[in-house]
Amino acid sequence: MQEVSAVARASRIKLSDAVVADTMKFIDTLAANATTSLQRDIAEGKPSEIDFWNGAMVRLGQSVGVTTPVNQFIYHGTLPQELRARGTLVLQSPAHCSFERSTRIE
């Protein structure tokens, strides 16, 4: 939310000074197991709105010179799964991958 607020300010979009605190207060009222449709889509391997939420924040931040590391992490971390869900990325099963012993993580 702090990144959203910073991008909005840099874009000259007026938001309440309390927008971050108010939004977090609302989120705190939700059930611990509550999920969004975006979360459910990702969990089910379906195409989601990640590009329109976190991807948009990354692009808008770049356009106004505001870094958005949390949104970048979420967007780029889920992008391979999103592309796979949309059929634009085909991942091979681990059985088809080969690694040299020196690259093995223990």
Residue among 85, 104, 1, 93 nearest 41 (CA) = 85
Q: What is the pLDDT along the chain (106 residues), one digit of tens a residue?
A: 999 999 999 999 999 999 999 999 999 999 999 999 999 999 999 999 999 999 999 999 999 999 999 999 999 999 988 988 888 877 666 665 554 544 433 4
CA–CA distances in Å: residue 62 to residues 58, 77, 83: 6, 18, 22
CA 96 remoteness from chain centre: 29
Domains for the chain: give ranges and CATH numbers: 2-103 (1.10.1040.10)
Whose tokens are 């099963």? That residue is: 93
Residue among 26, 75, 61, 65 nearest 16 (CA) = 26
Q: For residue 98, what pLDDT is reported?
A: 53
pTM above 0.85, yes or no: no
Please, is 68 exposed, middle or buried when counting C-beta atoms within 10 Å of its C-beta (0-12, 13-18, 19+)?
buried
Q: For residue 92, what pLDDT is reported?
A: 64
